[in-house]
Structure 1
Amino acid sequence: MNCYECAQSGRASEAVAVCRLCGAAVCSDHVRTEAMQLSGAAQPGKMGHDQPARRLTCPVCRSAEESA
């Protein structure tokens, strides 16, 4: 699968991730990664997880989220 962002500019590069919001495939140059804390019961009596989860988005969705 190729990166959607690169394809828009006439290039072909292999995708390494899929945006969690729009589903576009993105290469390592275009993927945006951030840590997010999960909530909910991790263990009985504990409301949260010690280790953050990974969240991957494309540049378009990331920009839209930041503008809101």
Structure 2
Amino acid sequence: MLKCYDCSEENKVSEAVGVCIVCGKGLCMDHIKEVELPMKGGYPLPHLTLKKDLPRMMCRECIDATIGDIGCV
């Protein structure tokens, strides 16, 4: 079973429930964050915007490096 990367750095052991979409590390419920990112179409539908943002799972470090606190659930 995949273990939480952030917990292992704190000398703890817990099972991961998801993976950060940016860096790919496994994360437990305490370390994973849900971020709603607006999705816009590309080729072949460049002007298409989805009606609803799609939830994505990220680690706190990647959120801070990419979008900060904007959009964090």
TM-score class, shorter: 0.7 to 0.9
Pair 1:20-2:21 in alignment: yes
Q: Which runs of 5+ in 2 are unaligned?
A: 69-73
2:24 maps to a residue whose letter is G
Shift in Å, 1:63: 2.0
Higher fraction of helix: 1
Count of residues in Structure 1 that have an aligned counterpart in Structure 2: 63
Alignment match, 1:63: 64
Higher fraction of strand: 1
Distance 2:24 2:37 in 1: 19
Alignment match, 1:52: 53
Across the aligned residues of Structure 1 and Structure 2, the Cα RMSD in angstroms comes to: 1.7
Alignment match, 1:30: 31
1:58 maps to a residue whose letter is C
Q: Which runs of 5+ in 1 are unaligned?
A: none
Among all aligned residue pairs of Structure 1 and Structure 2, give the percentage whose two residues are the same amino acid. Answer: 30
Bigger Rg, structure 1 or 2: 1
Distance 1:40 1:21 in 2: 20
